Structure 1
Amino acid sequence: MFAKETADAWYARPESELLPNGFVCPKCNSSDFRKETDILDVWFDSGSSCVAVLETRGDTLRFPADVYFEGGDQYRGWFNSSLMCGLAAHDASPYRQIITHGWVVDGEGKKQSKSLGNVTAPQEIIDRSGAEILRLWAAAVDYTEDVRCSDEILQRVIDAYRKFRNTLRYALGNLDGFDPKTHSVAEADLLEIDRWALAGLDEVTAKVLEGYKTYDFQAAYASLYHFCTVTLSARYFDIIKDRLYIYSPTSFERRSAQTALYKIADTLCRLLAPLLAFTADEAWENLPGQKLESVHLAEFPGVSVAADQKLTTNWERLFAIRDDVLKALETARGEKVIGSSLEAKVIVSADKETTLFLSDYFTQLRYLFIVSQVEVHEADGFGIRIEKADGQKCERCWNYSIRVGEFENYPTVCERCNEALKDIEKAAVA
């Protein structure tokens, strides 16, 4: 009866229909019963769901539940009544763990009220900005406390969403024509900065998976946001842009970057799927190569067992030097010494140990600093000087080179673009 009519059957039906046919009291043999209609407990119906629900849906649920999730006031409500019912029925707790959340307040921390006009309706957010923004807001806040919601806060969430979406777009846009099966470079053979990016990807994967495991969605969100804004946008994407756009499409340098981008896009789709259900699936559909129909059918990515600490340490040191170079370039730009950074030659003076360290990366420094030329000299102290780059501007890559004008077929480009154009020309003929 309850399965069909809910607990309302107790009040709607007469006593005779609630008892088995011919039922009598085992002590006095009477068959005249009266229903009790006083309330046992206002939370009893929901508390008994640990038996009525968990035990009747064996294909999807089981007793005890993995987690009960509700507001902090439920310690004297649903959590408590469920515990009593679970103990009465099975002498065990009906849940393995409890997670509690706070309440939504306005941007100033005040309780939301229709009379105050400060209510933020979820449907209004969805209609105006989309469900993904509401999802991301829920992930970005510390739900264990009362959480604030206002137009200003939601605007920051929208900005964060754009960062996630643009990160995926950049990676996917530069994977055009890339077949992960035939074009991928073995990880051990990747250029060092590409291996550094994948090491960072491993690190953020471990943090995000731990966040999901412990229901710390804010930590998962923060790790992903920092990775997209700092590791990728401000550093990696900025540096590999030249390599992706200037080298010939099939060159090792470009394939190395694309291999890393493919792994980054694939992993981000999987990690973002619980937070941005639609966006992650849309990006997944545009990921090259064979894949499952939906990202929500895919598993979370694995994490490399051993991290290359030396690789990480070296590149953190390089980026610290890069930060100093970028400041010097900005100063030189303000003093009209240069216009864009590609007009610059960077001259670094450093002690012997730093000079030897930079010499190991010398061929990569111009790309790391995004300038046309770099010199490194040994000196007593550390210093950076910015000068105008030597030579002429290449019309293809906009870098300056003393070799522009040397090449008969392409007299207006530099030596690097000359090789790239020859490769492109050969591919076109083939």
Structure 2
Amino acid sequence: RLRNTLRILLGNLDGYQPVENPEYTLLDRWILERLHEVVAECRKAYEAYEFRKVFNSLNQFCTADLSAVYVDATKDRMYCDATTSPRRLASQAAMHEIFTSIAKLLAPILAFTADEAWEHAGFTTGTVHEQDFPEANDAFAPSDATAKANRLFEIKYSIQTAIEARIQAKEFTRNNEADVTLTIPESDAALLDLLNDREFATEFFIIAGLSATLGEELSATARKTDLPLCPRCRKHEPLLESGLCERCDDVCNGTK
């Protein structure tokens, strides 16, 4: 799992050029704040010579947070956005920070794996074993972004339950075919605008669309979307005369 995670990160970092002040989305902030926690946990474990805790912490992060959530949700922007897209550049900046931190944290216990990954990254500052050990970055200490993301993951569970019921009923076969109607309690009112942001909701929940309103309690229903499938990004979006969605049309024509 760790080796595969490094491989995926390296693939997504192809052509990476650092940018000043990346425009991090909520999802980017959340994964970087989780990385901050993992770095702190691993440093503490190393100081206590508890190498198993280092491995467990990194494995849990790579499996549950990075691969299952972040890499999956950002796949669309990485594969289909223009290379100059602010959110794609932000993801690359986040993945660069994650890759370098994981490689350095792995170096003492998986020396050859970390060294090989570092070499493939093409860094010119020497081997991974010559680098400064990562430190938790206070700029990514847990913030409101983590609290919002954690609540959104709870909401995602309700949405997924509604979608799976429709899939089992054979109304459609994939998450990204689902149009979701969501009701959230007043206590989640601060999330309403975010949930009704189409770009955010379709990426975070990997669905076709979402309409959220305030109500008494959290509930979700799903139905098959009426929107056509874009043949390039494989998302259900309104199509232009070119047969592509607006985003893909702009990317293919070099206008975005």
- Bucket of the pairwise TM-score, normalised by the shorter protein: over 0.9
* 1:399 Cα deviation from its structure 2 partner: 1.3
Give the gaps of 5 or more residues in structure 2.
Answer: none
Q: Which residue pairs with 2:208 in the alignment?
A: 372
TM-score (norm 1): 0.56
One-letter amino acid of the counterpart of residue 10, structure 2 = L
Judge conservation of contact 1:349–1:384 (CA < 8 Å) in 2.
yes
Name the larger-Rg structure: 1
* 1:170 Cα deviation from its structure 2 partner: 0.7
Q: Which residue pairs with 2:126 in the alignment?
A: 293
Post-superposition Cα deviations, 1:5-47, rounded to whole Å, max 9, x if no partner, equal xxxxxxxxxxxxxxxxxxxxxxxxxxxxxxxxxxxxxxxxxxx
Structure with more relative contact order (C-alpha pairs < 8 Å, separation 6 or more): 2
Q: Alignment partner for residue 66 of structure 2, among 232, 253, 259?
A: 232
Matches within 5 A, 1:416-427: 416-423=247-254
User: Take 1:248 and 1:303, find their aligned partners in 2: how far apart are those partners?
Assistant: 31
CA-based RMSD: 1.7
One-letter amino acid of the counterpart of residue 386, structure 1 = A
User: Take 1:351 and 1:293, find their aligned partners in 2: how far apart are those partners?
Assistant: 53
Q: 1:388 aligned to 2:224?
A: yes
Judge conservation of contact 1:344–1:387 (CA < 8 Å) in 2.
yes
* 1:333 Cα deviation from its structure 2 partner: 1.1
SS at match of 2:95: helix
Q: 1:170 aligned to 2:8?
A: yes
Q: 1:360 aligned to 2:191?
A: no
* 1:355 Cα deviation from its structure 2 partner: 4.2
Judge conservation of contact 1:185–1:259 (CA < 8 Å) in 2.
no
Matches within 5 A, 1:106-145: none
SS at match of 1:394: coil
The 1:298/1:388 distance shift into structure 2, 3 A limit, reads same
Q: Alignment partner for residue 162 of structure 2, among 325, 328, 353?
A: 328
Q: Which residue pairs with 2:21 in the alignment?
A: 186
* 1:351 Cα deviation from its structure 2 partner: 2.1
One-letter amino acid of the counterpart of residue 205, structure 1 = V
Q: Which residue pairs with 2:185 in the alignment?
A: 351
User: Take 2:190 and 2:38, find their aligned partners in 1: how far apart are those partners?
Assistant: 31
| Deviating 4+ runs (over 6 angstroms) | none
Q: 1:200 aligned to 2:200?
A: no
Q: 1:243 aligned to 2:77?
A: yes
One-letter amino acid of the counterpart of residue 318, structure 1 = L
Give the gaps of 5 or more residues in structure 1.
Answer: 1-162
Q: Which residue pairs with 1:257 in the alignment?
A: 91
* 1:371 Cα deviation from its structure 2 partner: 0.7
* 1:361 Cα deviation from its structure 2 partner: 4.3
Percent of counterpart pairs with the same letter?
Answer: 34
Q: Which residue pairs with 2:50 in the alignment?
A: 216
User: Take 1:397 and 1:246, find their aligned partners in 2: how far apart are those partners?
Assistant: 6
Judge conservation of contact 2:195–2:210 (CA < 8 Å) in 1.
no
Q: Which residue pairs with 2:236 in the alignment?
A: 400
User: Take 1:382 and 1:323, find their aligned partners in 2: how far apart are those partners?
Assistant: 11
Total equivalences in the alignment: 253
Judge conservation of contact 1:212–1:220 (CA < 8 Å) in 2.
yes
The 1:220/1:258 distance shift into structure 2, 3 A limit, reads same
The 1:203/1:291 distance shift into structure 2, 3 A limit, reads farther
Judge conservation of contact 2:192–2:213 (CA < 8 Å) in 1.
no
Q: Which residue pairs with 1:110 in the alignment?
A: none
One-letter amino acid of the counterpart of residue 353, structure 1 = S
* 1:185 Cα deviation from its structure 2 partner: 4.4
User: Take 1:202 and 1:266, find their aligned partners in 2: how far apart are those partners?
Assistant: 13
Judge conservation of contact 1:372–1:400 (CA < 8 Å) in 2.
yes
